[in-house]
Amino acid sequence: MERPAPGSYEHDGDFQQLEGPYFGRYGGQWMPESLMAALQEVEETFRKAIKDPEFIAELNDLNTNYINRPSLLTEAPRFAQDHPGVRIFLKREDLNHTGSHKINNVIGQALLAKRMGKTRLIAETGAGQHGVATATAAALFGLECTVYMGEADTKRQALNVARMEMLGAEVKAVTIGARTLKDAINEALRDWVASVDTTHYLLGTVTGPAPFPEMVRYFHQVIGDEAREQSLEQTGKLPDAVIACVGGGSNAIGLFHGFLDDKNVQLYGMEAGGAGVETGKHAAPIALGRVGVLHGARTYLMQDEDGQTIDSHSISAGLDYPGVGPQHAFLHDTGRAIYQPVSDSEAMDAFKLLTRSEGIMPAIESSHALAGALRLAAKWVADGVVDETTPQDEQKVIIVNLSGRGDKDVSTAATWFGMVPEDHAEAGE
C-alpha cells in the first residue's frame, strides 16, 4: 500500500468510541485459523467483563490496593527551566508496582484469563518489563507462566530473567530469527496454537489481532483518565499537549485516550529513531511509512521491498519492535496525533537531564517522550508563543507519560555516558 499523507484520512466521528477489529483500514485478524476460536473467546469474555460491576470492582480494587493507583502527576520545573512559559508535568507510571505501566494491562488480562478458566499465562518480552509484570500476576493469581524472550535480550537483561524466575515463571530463550522481541512473539504464538485449551496469551501491547489492540488500550485508559482530572485540579485547565513514547504503543494510547475528543489537546507519539531514520537503524515504522500485516494486524511496519520484516534498532529494548499498534496508524492518518522519531542520543540527553534536574531516573523508553517534550517546548519558545512574561494561567502545559522507571537501564546508561571502564562495557550491551 502507498503511504497516505498525515491527515489524509477523514474521520469526523467520536474518536473515543473506536472499537476493533478495524481502526480505519488498520487492525483486523490476520491469524491462523487454529487461533480464531480462542480470539473469539477472549473477545466475548472481555466484552462481558467490562459490563459486569463485579469485574470492574475487582479491577478497581487491584488498581488501588495492588498497583498503587492513581499514579501521581508531578510537575518538573527544573527540567523545564530552559523553556520559560512552558510547564511540564510527568504522569508517574514509574511508581506503579513492578515499575512501569505494563502492570495495568497484565492485571486486567490475568483476571480475564481466570474468568476463562485458563491455568497458564504465556507472554513475550523485550526488555523484560512485560515479562516481569506477567510473572507477577501469575504469582498473584496462582497461574503457571512461561515467558518468551529473544536470546539476545536474555543476555542484556539477565537480572530481569532472574526476577521472572524468582517469581516462578519459566523463561524460554528464543534462538531463532533475530532473537529479539518479534521472534519472542512468533514463538509465543507457536506455543499458543498448541496450548490454547489451557493457556491465555497475555500480549503486552496494543498490537496483534483483534481484540488485543482495543482490550489492552482499555486496561491502560486509566492513565489518560487520571491525567485529565489531575490536570484540571492542578492547573485549572486541560493540557496543551500530551506526549508519550511509542513502540507497540500501549502507554501512549492509554494516555491519549482520555484526550482524544478534546480537540485542543495536541497528541504526540515519539518513535524510536535509533541512530537516525536515514541510517535504517531505527524502530520508527510510522516515519518509514510502509503498510503491511504482522502478528495479526494491518499497520505500519519495518519491512523491505518484499515484505520481509526488517530488524529494528533502538537503545531502548522496550521500543525495539518493527510494528506499531493499528490505532496509532489510524490516528496518524487522520492527523489527530502527530508521530515523530527521537534518536538514541536525544533520548539519552533527556534521560540525564531529568535524572539530574528532578532526581527522577526515567526508563530509556520514557526518555524518548521527555525528549519530545523538550523539542515542543523549545519550538513554542522559539516561535514566541510564550516567554518569561507569560502569566501562569496562559503558560503552556505539557503532560509527559513517564511510563517506567530507569533502574533496569542503569548499565546501558552508564555505558552510554562512558561511566564504566571499557572492559566492563559489555554489561550494558
Partner 1 sequence: MTESIRSLTAEKIEQARAEGRTAFIGYLPAGYPTIDDSIEAAVQLGNNGADIIEIGLPYSDPVMDGEVIQKATAEALQNGFRVADVFHIVKEVTSRTDAAVVIMTYWNLVDRMGVDEFSRRFAEAGGAGLVTPDLVPEEAGEWFEASDKYELDRIFLTAPSSPDERVKLTVDSSRGFVYAVSVMGITGARGEVSNAAERVVRRAHDAGAPRVCVGLGISEPHHVVEIGSYADGAIVGTALVSALRDNGPQAVGEITRNLVTGASKN
Active site amino acids? 102, 124, 403
Residues 159-188 that bind partner 1 (CB under 8 A): 176-177, 182-183, 186
- Selected from 14, 278, 305, 393, the binder of partner 1 by CB under 8 A is 305
- Selected from 164, 189, 244, 371, the binder of partner 1 by CB under 8 A is 189
* Residue 196 in contact with partner 1, rule: CB under 8 A: yes
* Residue 325 in contact with partner 1, rule: CB under 8 A: no
Tell me how far CA of residue 148 lies from CA of 44, 113, 192, 291, 310, in angstroms.
26, 18, 12, 27, 20
CB 73 within 8 A of CB 89: yes
C-alpha cell read off for 61: 480494587
* Per-residue contact flags (x/-) with partner 1 for residues 38 to 57, judged by CB under 8 A: x-x-----------------
The helix/strand/coil state of 207 is coil
* Residue 8 in contact with partner 1, rule: CB under 8 A: no
**Piece in contact with partner 1 (CB under 8 A), picked from 299-307, 325-333, 343-351, 413-421:** 299-307
Give the Cα separation of 41 and 290 in Å (integer): 32
CB 291 within 8 A of CB 298: yes
- Selected from 34, 81, 198, 264, the binder of partner 1 by CB under 8 A is 34
Contacts of 339 (CB under 8 A, 6+ apart): 246, 268, 269, 270, 271, 286, 287, 328, 332
Q: Could you give the count of Cα atoms lying within 13 Å of 176 in the half-sphere of its Cβ?
A: 8
C-alpha cell read off for 160: 530481569
In the complex with partner 1, the residue whose CB is nearer, 25 or 375, is 25
CB 395 within 8 A of CB 127: no
Residue 293 CB, shortest distance to partner 1, in Å, is: 5
* Residue 128 in contact with partner 1, rule: CB under 8 A: no
CB 271 within 8 A of CB 299: no
* Residue 28 in contact with partner 1, rule: CB under 8 A: yes
Residue 334 CB, shortest distance to partner 1, in Å, is: 22
* Residue 190 in contact with partner 1, rule: CB under 8 A: yes
**Piece in contact with partner 1 (CB under 8 A), picked from 26-34, 88-96, 275-283, 412-420:** 26-34
Q: Any idea which residue has 472481555 for its cell?
A: 46
* Residue 309 in contact with partner 1, rule: CB under 8 A: yes
- Selected from 140, 193, 414, 420, the binder of partner 1 by CB under 8 A is 193
Q: Which residues pair with 123 in a beta bridge?
A: 147
- Over its C-alpha atoms, the chain yields an Rg (Å, rounded) of 20
Give the Cα separation of 311 and 309 in Å (integer): 6
In the complex with partner 1, the residue whose CB is nearer, 190 or 379, is 190
In the complex with partner 1, the residue whose CB is nearer, 39 or 107, is 39
* Residue 382 in contact with partner 1, rule: CB under 8 A: no
Give the Cα separation of 146 and 65 in Å (integer): 26
- Selected from 12, 33, 54, 383, the binder of partner 1 by CB under 8 A is 33
In the complex with partner 1, the residue whose CB is nearer, 173 or 385, is 173
Tell me how far CA of residue 372 lies from CA of 1, 16, 204, 245, 271, in angstroms.
29, 24, 24, 9, 10
**Footprint of partner 1 (CB under 8 A):** 1, 28-38, 40, 176-177, 182-183, 186, 189-190, 193-197, 292-295, 301, 303, 305-309
